[in-house]
Amino acid sequence: MTFVELLARLGGMGRFQVTYVAALAIPLLMLASHNLLQNFTAGIPEHHCRPRPLANDTTGEVPLLISIPPDGHHRLQRCRRYVEPQWHLLEVNGTANGTANGVATEPCRDGWTYHNSVFTHTIVTEWDLVCESKQLRQVAQSIYMGGILLGSGLFGILSDNRFGRRALLTWCYLQLGVTGAGTAAAPTFVIYCLCRFLTGLAMAGVSLNSACLCMEWIPTEARAVVGTINGYCYTFGQFVLAAVAFSLPHWRWLQLVVSLPFFIFFLYSWLFVESARWQVISGRPDLALKGLRKVARVNGRKEEGDKLSVEAILGSNPTILGSNPTILGSNLTFLVLPGGFSVDLLGFGGRFSTSFAYYGLAMDLQGFGVDIYLSQLVFAAVDIPAKLASVLAISCLGRRVAQGGSLALAGICILANIFVPMELQTLRMVFAVVGKGSLAASFNCAYIFTGELFPTVIR
């Protein structure tokens, strides 16, 4: 008896599986909020140098025309100001009179003035991450992504070899809530980056262990649909982010609100059932039996659960659950065998290219020149038909064709955007939206495809 057949005897896609999928999917709403959060918490408002104070000025107001030079687009320069006020640029009535080409300028020695028409308070305005310090904004996001990278390896190894999926998922919910709230209270940019790094660590643990727990309790025929449901939760999380960000313009409150729900997820995660596959592989068949009987009871198949025994589970077909030492040992060399190596390239390469392009588009909303809240909504909305198309393609054409096709379409759109002039903002936005939707479909395929390619012991 295979494990899939065992699940079918215990109810298949029953009440337990439906509840389990829902409980694991709800936190995905907030994963999108954290991954894309810096579009809003690190938004760059329009800004210019604070004018040099004048000795005889009693009003406190200095005309910007005489203090800030224009850029090539006849807008105020963001990072330079005149060394001396250029009074000759004003007529008696205060209108422009000539230019000041060749006049000496200097950096913004007295700080900046920020316009609050779009962003009222971000980490950029709080710590002046503009001009010479503008790269620090991207450094903060890179540090967060570095946390995700490290967490993917760390929590993957720990969940496989020591603690299991459920225990680490519970810990990651707590860590994400604590470090997310800590980020909201960060007094300095350095502490902000540290908290974001720890948040990224936990984010990887949540994503990986949620996927493993979900897939290991779901019948094979339902995995495509369940994977799409999880993908849609991430999509709707992008709508949630746009709404919350619009309602809470202060970055600290926004950061706090998207972090607090993880304390709730931490509390109810204690009710999760550990993967029976992992427990058998780890030499704990008695705990696996206990979990399987709980599944049977929730699904209304208590009699079937009572018939199970450790001997029955291990004796039916020990290779299915990985309890056979030969199979378990061969899994250790899976990654270095020719067949396993090709699986590695497919899984790792597909996820890397998808993630690299996806976040390159999704984290540059301001670069499209459209209202950032509208851009977030449009980028979220395109995921709905894209992920529906992906599940249809998976069902009709198979995982490989669906994955390759979505990546190819995304690549075409991104390359085409290189040759579109910056002035054609609408066309650039269309290519970006189609490309982002294709990458969302690719994520959906990768979530299912790679989960099925790798054995449970190294999943």
Both 395 and 353 in one domain: the answer is yes
190 vs 73, 91, 140, 186, 194, CA distance in Å?
35, 47, 9, 8, 6
Q: How far is CA 365 from the centre of its chain?
A: 15
Nearest to 27 by CA among 205, 152, 154, 150: 205
Which run of H or of E encompasses 269? none
Angle of CA points 314, 318, 322, to nearest 5°: 110
Mean pLDDT of the residues in the chain: 80
Q: Establish if 67 belongs to a structural domain.
A: yes
Q: Is residue 52 part of a domain?
A: yes
Mean pLDDT of 389-404: 79
- Indicate whether 276 and 402 sit together in one domain: no
Residue of 170, 198, 174 lying closest to 186 (CA atoms):
198
Is 403 within 8 Å of 391 (Cβ atoms)? no
Looking at the fold, whether 269 and 283 belong to one and the same domain comes out as: yes
Task: Look at residue 143 and tell me whether its pLDDT is greater than 80.
Answer: yes
Query: What's the rounded Cα separation, in Å, for the pair 406 and 385?
Result: 13
CA torsion sign for 80, 82, 85, 90 is negative
- Does 222 lie in the same domain as 164? yes
- Mean pLDDT, rounded, for 441-455: 68
The pLDDT confidence band at residue 172, using thresholds 50, 70 and 90, is: very high
* 102 domain residue, yes or no: yes
> 247 and 151 in one domain?
yes
| The predicted structure's pLDDT at residue 321 | 46
Residues 96 and 65 sit within 8 Å (Cβ to Cβ): yes
Same domain, 199 and 288: yes
Please give the share of the chain, as a percent, with pLDDT higher than 90.
Answer: 20
Work out the number of other CB atoms within 10 angstroms of the CB of residue 43: 22
> Does pLDDT of 264 surpass 50?
yes
Pair (192, 228) in one structural domain: yes
Q: Which domain holds residue 196?
A: 1-39+125-323
The answer to whether residue 120 is domain-embedded is no
| Helix H or strand E segment including 392 | helix 383-397
Please count the structural domains in the chain.
Answer: 3
Tokens matching residue 408: 């190819």
Q: Of 272, 297, 323, which one is at a domain's C-terminal end?
A: 323
- Residue 119 inside a domain? The answer is no
| CA–CA separation, 439 and 164 (whole Å) | 30
Same domain, 169 and 34: yes
